[in-house]
């Protein structure tokens, strides 16, 4: 159901491409419906099929008791037997309503850590939910090549992952699963390691599929692997913003510095931000963050912005065992409130130099082409 009317198979539509000199309305009809997509018949003009490429934005009119209009995008087409286009379902896997932060494009934010075990993925999930509660449309892309586990922590069982996208079996929206507060989760896995072995056509299709998130997502969180491997650095270089998660342990602080140093040497342009996890109180967080920020500024001549802290609490581990995010299961706990505060800080300090999905795609293409040459 969409607003105050039902979509149904056989329903007539009138469609036209957005941002085109073509002002004619073409007649179409709904052929099939799924949770995230609508299959519509290809329109004809004077007996000739109207051909539009994948990625075309459409304005669609539905006539019932009242007229309704929505925009969507062509994500696939079939010109063999039943000539048809597949478009995104309006508002699919998205949160509607008032938004605190209005942006012209999606914010692509990579969440990383210098070492494992600092709570990076747990933080990413809870941050996504806290942002969604603020009216943001949020997607998590699990790009941890070693142990993709966002779905496990949410007790979700995805049928498909990025491997099915690489194989051309599914599109990006079809592999997306819905999480708490309507956040979208794109399961990853080892399939991403196959990127450099794809043909030019396969790689182009894979990268282009990310365009489907433009207009659907306000914020895209990349949950990277821990450490400073090349796979991790590639995603950090392609993002607009980076959140580095550390704890108060000396080796975790040193590893956080190390990953910042690697980004400096690679001339990373992304805005970098710092989260200190598992602190006793705000005072300890301030001491640790100030020390790390000072070292980075002195030795690397670059800045990392302090975004917030999360207090240590046994309820965090309990929520993980229960596979129920902290901000939902224990919303009044201190660490849950800390995460909400971090989400507010993130929204109140947007990166005005963001390049969005198109910038992410451009940088990823450049990075992987460079790897192929080597």
Closest CA to 109 of 266, 217, 259: 217
Is 275 found in the same domain as 205? yes
What spatial distance separates the first Cα and last Cα of the chain, rounded to whole Å?
51
Q: How large is the average pLDDT for residues 139-146? A: 81
Q: How large is the average pLDDT for residues 287-308? A: 96
pTM of the model: 0.75
* Enclosing H/E stretch for 68: strand 67-78
| DSSP letter, residue 2 | B
Report the alpha-carbon distance of residue 304 to residue 17 in Å, rounded: 43
What band does 19 get if pLDDT is binned at 50, 70 and 90? Answer: low
What band does 4 get if pLDDT is binned at 50, 70 and 90? Answer: very low
Range of the domain at 325: 107-373
Is 125 found in the same domain as 20? no
- Domain count of the fold of the chain: 2
Is 226 found in the same domain as 139? yes
What does the pLDDT read at residue 114? 83
What does the pLDDT read at residue 315? 97
Closest CA to 285 of 332, 227, 342: 342
Residue 3 in any domain: the answer is no
Is 173 found in the same domain as 35? no
Across all residues in the chain, what is the average pLDDT?
83
* Enclosing H/E stretch for 15: strand 12-17
Report the alpha-carbon distance of residue 203 to residue 369 in Å, rounded: 10
Beta bridge partners of 194: none
Tokens of 52: 């539009």
Is 245 found in the same domain as 199? yes
Who contacts 123 (Cβ-Cβ below 8 Å, separation ≥6)? 111, 245, 275, 277, 310, 339
Is 317 found in the same domain as 231? yes
64 pLDDT higher than 70 = no
Is 112 found in the same domain as 80? no
Helices (H), 172-216: 172-175, 200-209
Who contacts 101 (Cβ-Cβ below 8 Å, separation ≥6)? 136, 218, 347, 348, 350
What band does 95 get if pLDDT is binned at 50, 70 and 90? Answer: very low
């Amino acid at each position: 159901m969409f607003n105050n009317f039902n979509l149904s198979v056989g329903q007539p539509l009138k469609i036209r491409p957005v941002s085109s000199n073509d002002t004619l309305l073409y007649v179409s009809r709904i052929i099939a419906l799924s949770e995230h997509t609508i299959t519509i018949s290809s329109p004809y003009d004077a007996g000739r099929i109207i051909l539009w490429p994948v990625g075309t934005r459409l304005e669609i009119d539905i006539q019932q008791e009242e007229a309704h209009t929505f925009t969507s995008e062509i994500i696939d087409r079939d010109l063999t037997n039943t000539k048809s286009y597949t478009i995104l379902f309006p508002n699919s896997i998205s949160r509607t309503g008032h938004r605190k932060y209005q942006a012209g494009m999606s914010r692509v934010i990579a969440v990383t850590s210098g070492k494992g075990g600092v709570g990076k993925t747990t933080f990413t999930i809870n941050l996504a939910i806290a942002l969604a509660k603020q009216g943001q449309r949020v997607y998590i892309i699990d790009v941890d090549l070693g142990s993709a586990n966002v779905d496990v922590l949410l007790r979700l069982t995805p049928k498909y992952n990025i491997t099915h996208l690489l194989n051309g079996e599914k599109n990006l929206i079809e592999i997306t699963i819905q999480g708490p507060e309507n956040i979208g989760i794109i399961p990853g896995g080892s399939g991403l390691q196959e990127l450099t072995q794809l043909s030019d056509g396969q790689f182009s299709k894979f990268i282009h599929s990310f365009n489907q998130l433009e207009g659907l997502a306000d914020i895209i969180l990349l949950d990277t692997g821990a450490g400073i491997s090349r796979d991790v650095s590639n995603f950090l270089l392609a993002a607009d913003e980076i959140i580095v998660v550390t704890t108060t342990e000396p080796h975790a602080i040193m590893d956080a510095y190390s990953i910042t140093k690697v980004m400096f040497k690679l001339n990373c342009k992304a805005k970098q931000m710092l989260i200190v996890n598992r602190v006793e109180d705000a005072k300890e967080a301030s001491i640790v963050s100030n020390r790390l920020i000072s070292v980075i500024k002195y030795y690397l001549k670059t800045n990392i912005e302090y975004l917030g802290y999360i207090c240590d609490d046994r309820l965090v581990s309990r929520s993980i065992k229960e596979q129920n995010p902290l901000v939902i299961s224990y919303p009044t706990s201190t660490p849950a409130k800390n995460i909400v505060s971090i989400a507010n800080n993130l929204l109140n300090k947007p990166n005005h130099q963001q390049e969005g999905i198109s910038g992410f795609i451009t940088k990823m293409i450049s990075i992987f082409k460079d790897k192929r040459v080597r």
